[in-house]
Chain A
Amino acid sequence: MPVWHEKTRDLRASGKLAVLGIVEEQHADRARLFVQWKGIDWPVLGDPVGLTGVGVVPILLLVDEQGVIRHVGSPAQDPGPLLAAFLADTSEPEREKAQPAMPRRPDLALLERRAREGGAPAWRELGDALVLWERDPGCAVTAYETAARLAAPDAALEFRLGVAYRMRHDSLAGPPGDFARAVAAWEDALGASPNNYIWRRRIQQYGPVSAKPYPFYDWVEQARREIAARGETPIALAVEPRGAELAAPMRGARLGATEEPEPDPEGRIARDPGQLVLAEATAVPGAVAPGGSTRIHLDLRPKGASDAHWNNEAGGVVLWAALPAGWAADPRRAELGNPAPRVGTVSDEPRHLEFEAHCPEKVSAGEVEIRAYVLYYVCEGRQGRCLYRRQDVTVPLRVTGALDVTSR
């Protein structure tokens, strides 16, 4: 694409060619940072819900003056010859066209009325509008769930549901379990349409290193450095890529027996049954084949209702994975330090830890429970009592008889 950027500059300046981008990305700000980094100066549109219907990227379409697609393919490294032929083609001379009306955001009130009167497609359309134009994942989830209740959901609706659940998870405004709901919906979408590589990548983005094709967002730090070196301010990200989103692929990696000491082997630390900190655990993928792996995401949030805060003057969060016999955890013990001192002595930001669970080769198909616990220092209010607490989490996981389609 940077090549494209350079090679089409003169054509764009002379008006011979317009270039438009559509980015298939859940997080619009990550796409903006990418565009800023690459110096792309043509308009780029965000398509988090997959409105284009493509299942693979990148795709290049060359469209003539009449709106007819003349070429479909992958963007060539050197677009010169292809573009020369496209621009030289005057078989359909340019006709004067009526100037199309300026596009407007959809009329939400109209879409809501149609949805209430109509069926599943109208609810889906309303859900799309709520994601794309209102950035309102809560209402979008309701609209998509209604569409799924009215008619058996197809793969595209399952994917959209996953997008809206994950957006609501990122907004911190939804109920617990949204990330797990997103993963389940994306897995259903991919199960119904296993050739959709965008949906496959979405699960791999959060999944185990053994199933990753590449690190997904390792470019972010490089982009920030290079943008800053140009004297610009990098676009800020609402949700920082982390854990699986940055991890490099690792094939055939299995940890041997690690001798890390268990932090609370006798269970003597007082439990927080989710009153102070809300703990959410999600397995990606939600099913694992014998010999396969899944990645467990732990999201921790001090509960606003209890006015709970992390105690940044004490230690960070410690995770211990307690897996069924024969299973291996990587890492078995993890520690997340406190934020920089400037954040303050207490804070209430969400915290996130991940580990991978490796399933043994010889295991019966069925349901298993992956258990883990976290230990943390938490204060009741900014000036209140500070406590050391343990919270146990359980993640239900399905062991499949054969390799699951979503884990490949």
Chain B
Amino acid sequence: MQRRLLHRALVLLLVSAALASASHADDAAENPFVAGARLPEIVLPSIEDGRPVSTAEFLGRKLALQIFASW
């Protein structure tokens, strides 16, 4: 009986670990950015004039970075 309970608990633990890891993977698929981590340098063209702009240009200042869509 005790062994069965232990077995059940182990299965439950494994299932919840799998679910937690799956849900973590889903989160990462939606948003790879994590608080506490360094923002990787991203260089993209300005939509205005195509000029390259890097996130590194904002080092030394507090930055609010908005990632959005126009659709």
Contact = CB atoms under 8 A, between A and B. Distances in A.
Interface of A: 1, 4, 8, 15-25, 28, 30-35, 43-47, 51-72, 75, 79, 83, 86-87, 94-97, 100, 103-105, 132-133, 193, 195-198, 201, 205, 216-217
Contacts of B43: 103
A207 to B, nearest CB: 13
A67 B53 CA distance: 15
Contacts of B50: 133
Nearest to A133: B45
Interface residues of B, number: 40
Which of A21, A45, A69 has the most C-beta atoms of chain B within 10 angstroms of its own C-beta?
A: A45
B9 to A, nearest CB: 30
Given A51-B42, A63-B39, A103 B66 contact: no
Which of B44, B46, B64 has the most C-beta atoms of chain A within 10 angstroms of its own C-beta?
A: B64
B30 A22 contact: no
A23 B56 contact: no
A55 B54 CA distance: 21
A72 B33 contact: yes
Contacts of A86: 62, 64
Given A63-B65, A68-B39, A133-B50, 12 more contacts: A18-B62, A18-B63, A47-B44, A54-B30, A54-B32, A58-B66, A59-B66, A61-B63, A62-B65, A63-B39, A97-B59, A103-B43
B44 to A, nearest CB: 4
Contacts of A60: 64-67
